[in-house]
Amino acid sequence: MYWKLKQRELDDHEKLVSVLRQVEVVISALPIRQYLKQLNIIQAMKDAGTIKRFVPYEYGNEADRVTALPPFEAMLSNKRKIQRPTKAARLSYTFISTNSFAVYFVNYLLHPERKTTKSSYMEVKKQKVPLTNCYIHKY
C-alpha cells in the first residue's frame, strides 16, 4: 500500500499524522523546491509513532563531505537542515548518496530552463529504470 500526498497536504499536520499511522516506511521524493517540507514529515512521523524506516530525499552528494560553490552550497545547507532533525528524531533512517556528475549541475545551474532528454536506463518488468552509480548508507 502507498499514499500519494498532494502539495497542500504537506502543511496539514493532522492529515500527515493520520496517513503516517497507516504506513511503516516513508520514502520521500520531493522536488528540491519543496525539500524543506520534509521537516513537516519528520515531525508528523514522530507524532504518528508507527514509522520503522525513513528514506529522506537525500540523493546526490553527502552534504557534510562536500565543499561547494555558493549556488550548490545553498542546496547542501538545506540538506543539512533535514539530516540533523532526522538523526535527532531517533527514527530508523537511510540516506542514499548517489554522488553527482558535474555536467548535470553545470547544465542545471547555468541553464535551469533546459530539459534534459538523454539518459541511460535499463528495463525492469517493462518499466524504464535510470542507471546511476549509487552508494547506500544505512544508519
| CB burial string 94-117: b at 16+ within 10 A, e below | ebbbeeeeeeebeeeeeeeeeeee
pTM as predicted: 0.65
| Residue range 93-125, pLDDT digits in tens | 888 877 766 655 665 666 666 555 444 555 555
Query: Would you list the domain boundaries of the chain?
Result: 7-138
Nearest-angstrom CA–CA distance, 55 and 28:
6
Catalytic residue among 4, 79, 81, 138: 79
CATH pick for 7-138 out of 3.90.1010.10, 3.90.440.10, 3.40.50.150, 3.40.50.720: 3.40.50.720
139 or 63, greater pLDDT:
63
62 or 12, greater pLDDT:
12
| Residue range 15-27, pLDDT digits in tens | 899 989 988 899 8
Q: How confident is the model at residue 45 (pLDDT cuts 50, 70, 90)?
A: very high
Q: Is 52 labeled as catalytic in the residue annotation?
A: no
